[in-house]
Amino acid sequence: MSLAPANHMGHAMAQGGVTMPDMPFSVVKRDDLVPRCPHCAQELADVYMRTKGAGFVEGKNVLYFCHHCLKVLGFGQSRMI
Ligand SMILES: [Zn+2]
């Protein structure tokens, strides 16, 4: 039995759906499209956010959540503080 080359990288990495901040994709500005919530599939004309008070959110971290089902959409870094 020989050592197999380590070039068989599977795409099933257990990252838990974490979005990379520096993914190499092109950004197209589409203000005419309304994003939908991945949880309740309703249109997100607005996205709620809060900066503190959630316990696990500290400092300048921003928590974004859907205003329909109030489920968390993601986290961000606020640079306005
Ligand atoms: Zn929702």
Where in the chain are the domains?
A: 33-81
Do the beta carbons of residue 54 and residue 61 sit within 8 Å?
no
Q: What is the pTM of this model?
A: 0.49
How many A from CA of 8 to the centre of ligand 1?
Answer: 37
How many A from CA of 63 to the centre of ligand 1?
Answer: 14
Higher pLDDT, 8 or 18: 18
Q: What are the tens digits of pLDDT across the range 31-66?
A: 899 999 999 999 998 889 887 655 554 556 788 999
C-alpha span between 38 and 35 (Å, rounded): 9
How many A from CA of 67 to the centre of ligand 1?
Answer: 6
How many A from CA of 71 to the centre of ligand 1?
Answer: 6
